[in-house]
Amino acid sequence: MGKNKTVKYFVVDAFTDSAFKGNPAAVCFLNDDDNNERDDTWLQSLATEFNISETCFLIPITGFDARFSLRWFTPLAEVDLCGHATLASAHCLFSNGLVDSDMVEFVTRSGILTAKRVSDNSELNDGEVKGGTFLIELNFPVVTTCDINLSDDSSSMITKALNGATIVDIKATATNNILVVLPSMESVTELQPRMDDILKCPCDGIIVTAADSAGSAYDFYSRYFAPKFGVDEVKE
């Protein structure tokens, strides 16, 4: 049993119901023996080989039916949290009958995260209820933010990185990101950031967000740019 042992994996397109859309994540299944044989360098090398925004590794925790260790890697580094790869992991477990529970727990660098399978009671166009499908509810930790006082140089750097976008507010997050509030949903979706300048900013990544208009089906829009992790935009 060596490092050439086969690894079972899925590539899942999250946040879509169509092939080749959404945000892809590779979900790799390991066991305790695999984990002991494969060090962090090997895990990172595999994530680099996949070369998609996130590759994650699931390891069952002995003694529990639906508890797994979960780690996330971009092509360049391990990260503390990834939403779409967690969703992809839960989808793989539920869709392939790999757990008997409707609740899965993931032990991660960001604490214990949960994923719950719930019935999809939405209606089709003819009024019939969908059958055999389900939704997944994720429970994630709250990331705190705080006000920051930027120097003129730092403020100018962020404005340049966001290609001159009008900035309503700026916050720092506890995860070393900068959260930038823009005026409108359109300003978020139409933004064309300058990745080379984001690399120079004093943070791991930049989140841009804005509240949507009244009556919309969405509360807000957000985008996350993290070129320092080898991913220009993480589509969460």
- Report yes or no: 156 and 126 within 8 Å, Cβ to Cβ: no
Distance CA 207, CA 175 (A): 11
Contact 109/71 with Cβ under 8 angstroms?
yes
The phi, psi pair for 192, rounded to 5°, reads -120, 90
- State the Cα–Cα distance between residues 32 and 228, nearest whole angstrom: 31
How many of the other CB atoms lie within 10 Å of CB of 182?
Answer: 24
Residue position matching structure tokens 């797994």: 68
**Residue of 37, 49, 54, 128 marked catalytic:** 54
In sequence order, which residues have a C-beta less than 8 Å from that of residue 41 and are 6 or more positions away?
none
> For this structure, is 54 an active site residue?
yes
Q: List, by residue number, the catalytic residues.
A: 54
